[in-house]
């Protein structure tokens, strides 16, 4: 778990803001679910997934309830859907922290953030297209160019069951060639063996039966429609029959957004798929559903690698320098902020020189200077700090203290025009 300090924290907030803008324009409303749920909500993710068996932060609370910190949002969203019975299709988005007891490394943390969307109550393959394309659009909006959409379908539940059987038989026949870890995985869920990144397993995985040979006509049609729709929207994708995803609830369409710059163990920037059985598993009516979650921590690492969506220090519009003790700066900054102008000041009665240095460092557009002469005359001095440097500033001028806000606003408008038409 990590501390996120400024200016990085502002980048996190901007990330969520951009995501919200993209998905709200597509009709998704934000849902805020509790950080804690009854453990049973999350065990529905699948008893054979590491997330449930090894990584859950679960405990018994003072009321003897067995609860857990959420390891993801999808199960919570389905629980909320069952509880509130909203009109379908229910289109929601979310942002927040999740907890998984993983082995921490670059791009993998025990507390990490996701943004995501879920749609409950529609089976339409063009919805799958919309969902995948929205994630793609968001990555474009951040400026990322090295993201690949990997796409697969796990078929209908019966197709998937037949496939699992064939896969289990195949791996069982060659079990001595599998790594020890994959042998253990095989006893729990043969599909997850396909997820192994160990070199020892690579050859066997390459020769394994593929899911596409097990699709029913219905699953094949649905998947074909998804691919056609993505083509129609010019969203490039790569078919990946080995894409099984780490959670057990998936059926039919599954997909991942893979970053081009990260190590293979952490290059899934986000992923999702259909999970048509989960609402029922949580006590609701059978409900088709699809969604994705994007890892914020990991996506920002990809942004660093690609040199896009950089953290920005927020420079104030104005830095108020007060050589009379500080009360003038306190009043002026509050007045300016009240008028929607961001304003900073120095503390501890520092010298004029030290305050001007602080003004430079803050990268403010203007300095407002108040000394004892100004207080006596009922004026203030406005000094443009061009390129954030007092030394390079244009001509300073004196204005009536009562005109502070209007004059600062004028000067800021002037500075903005100059910047756009130098
Ligand atoms: P997931 O693949 O487990 O899917 O997580 C989605 C993304 O969250 C990953 O691609 C990764 O970027 C990020 N992530 C996961 N674990 C960590 C970690 N320990 N540290 C940093 N980032 C991490 C889900 O969570 C599903 N709920 C997605 C979904 C939504 N499927 C349908 N709807």
DSSP 344-393: EE--TT--HHHHHHHHHHHT-SEEEEE-HHHHHHTEEEEEE-GGG-STT-
Task: Determine the average pLDDT of the residues in 75-86.
Answer: 97
Q: Quick one: which atom of ligand 1 is closest to the CA of 109?
A: 20
Identify the residue whose C-alpha is closest to ligand 1 atom 15.
295
Per-residue pLDDT reduced to its tens digit, 2-18? 999 999 999 999 999 99
State which of 80, 113, 243, 298 you would mutate to test the pocket of ligand 1, scoring each by most atoms of that ligand within 8 A of its C-beta. 298
Give the global pTM: 0.91
Identify the residue whose C-alpha is closest to ligand 1 atom 20.
108
Identify the residue whose C-alpha is closest to ligand 1 atom 31.
272
Other CB atoms within a 10 A radius of the CB of residue 50 amount to 18
Residue 251 Cβ inside 6 Å of ligand 1? The answer reads no
- pLDDT of residue 390 exceeding 70: no
Both tokens assigned to 290: 């699809």
Strand order in the sheet with 397-400: 343-345, 318-322, 366-370, 379-384, 397-400
Counted residue by residue, the chain has a size of: 422
Please tell me the distance from the alpha carbon of residue 5 to that of residue 361, in angstroms, as a whole number.
Answer: 19
State which of 41, 57, 72, 274 you would mutate to test the pocket of ligand 1, scoring each by most atoms of that ligand within 8 A of its C-beta. 72
Taking the centre of ligand 1 as the mean of its atom positions, its distance from the CA of residue 80, in whole angstroms, is: 19
How sure is the predictor about 421, in pLDDT bands with cuts at 50, 70 and 90?
low
Q: Among 57-61, 89-93, 240-244, 304-308, whose mean pLDDT is lowest?
A: 240-244
Residue recorded with tokens 């849902």? 31
Cis peptide bond prior to 89, omega within 30° of 0: yes
Taking the centre of ligand 1 as the mean of its atom positions, its distance from the CA of residue 240, in whole angstroms, is: 18
Residue recorded with tokens 């204005």? 399
Contacts of residue 25, Cβ cutoff 8 Å, sequence gap at least 6 = none
Residue 288 Cβ inside 6 Å of ligand 1? The answer reads no
Angle between helices 8-24 and 296-306 (to 10 degrees): 110
Q: Quick one: which atom of ligand 1 is closest to the CA of 272?
A: 31
State which of 92, 96, 114 you would mutate to test the pocket of ligand 1, scoring each by most atoms of that ligand within 8 A of its C-beta. 114
Instruction: Report the relative pairing of strands 343-345 and 318-322 from DSSP bridges.
Output: parallel
Helix (H/G/I), strand (E/B), else coil: 234: coil
How sure is the predictor about 391, in pLDDT bands with cuts at 50, 70 and 90?
very low
Q: Quick one: which atom of ligand 1 is closest to the CA of 291?
A: 33
Per-residue pLDDT reduced to its tens digit, 133-178? 999 999 999 999 999 999 999 999 899 899 999 999 999 999 999 9
Per-residue pLDDT reduced to its tens digit, 342-377? 999 999 999 999 999 999 999 999 999 999 999 999
């Amino acid at each position: 778990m990590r501390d996120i300090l400024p200016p990085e924290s502002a980048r996190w907030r901007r990330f969520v803001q951009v995501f919200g803008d993209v998905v709200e324009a597509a009709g998704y409303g934000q849902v805020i679910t509790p950080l804690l749920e009854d453990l049973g909500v999350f065990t529905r993710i699948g008893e054979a997934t590491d997330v449930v068996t090894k990584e859950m932060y679960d405990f018994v609370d003072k009321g003897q309830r067995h609860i857990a910190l959420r390891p993801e949002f999808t199960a919570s969203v389905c629980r909320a859907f069952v509880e509130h019975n909203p009109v379908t299709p229910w289109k929601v988005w979310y942002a927040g922290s999740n907890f998984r007891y993983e082995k921490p490394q670059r791009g993998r943390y025990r507390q990490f953030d996701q943004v995501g969307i879920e749609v409950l109550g529609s089976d339409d393959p063009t919805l799958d297209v919309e969902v995948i394309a929205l994630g793609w659009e968001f990555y474009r909006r951040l400026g990322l160019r090295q993201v690949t959409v990997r796409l697969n379908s796990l078929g209908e539940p019966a197709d998937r069951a037949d496939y699992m059987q064939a896969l289990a038989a195949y791996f069982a026949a060659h079990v001595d060639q599998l790594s020890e870890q994959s042998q253990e995985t095989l006893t729990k869920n043969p599909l997850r063996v396909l997820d192994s990144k160990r070199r020892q397993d690579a050859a066997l995985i390459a020769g394994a039966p593929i899911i596409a040979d097990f699709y029913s006509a219905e699953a094949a049609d649905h998947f074909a429609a998804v691919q056609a729709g993505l083509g129609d929207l010019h969203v490039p994708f790569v078919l990946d029959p080995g894409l099984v995803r780490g959670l057990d609830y998936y059926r039919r369409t599954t997909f991942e957004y893979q970053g081009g710059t990260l190590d293979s163990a952490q290059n899934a920037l986000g992923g999702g798929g259909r999970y048509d059985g989960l609402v029922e598993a949580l006590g609701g009516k059978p409900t088709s559903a699809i969604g994705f979650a994007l890892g914020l921590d990991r996506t920002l690492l990809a942004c660093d690698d690609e040199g896009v969506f950089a953290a920005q220090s927020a420079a104030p519009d104005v830095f108020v320098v007060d050589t009379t003790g500080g009360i003038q700066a306190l009043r002026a900054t509050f007045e300016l902020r009240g008028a929607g102008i961001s304003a900073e000041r120095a503390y501890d009665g520092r010298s004029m020189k030290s305050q001007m240095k602080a003004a430079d460092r803050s990268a403010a557009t203007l300095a407002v200077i108040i000394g004892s002469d100004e207080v006596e005359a009922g004026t203030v001095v406005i000094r443009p700090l061009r390129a954030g440097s007092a030394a390079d500033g244009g001509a300073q001028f004196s204005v009536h203290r009562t005109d502070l806000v209007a004059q600062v606003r004028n000067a800021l408008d002037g500075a903005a025009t100059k910047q756009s038409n130098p």
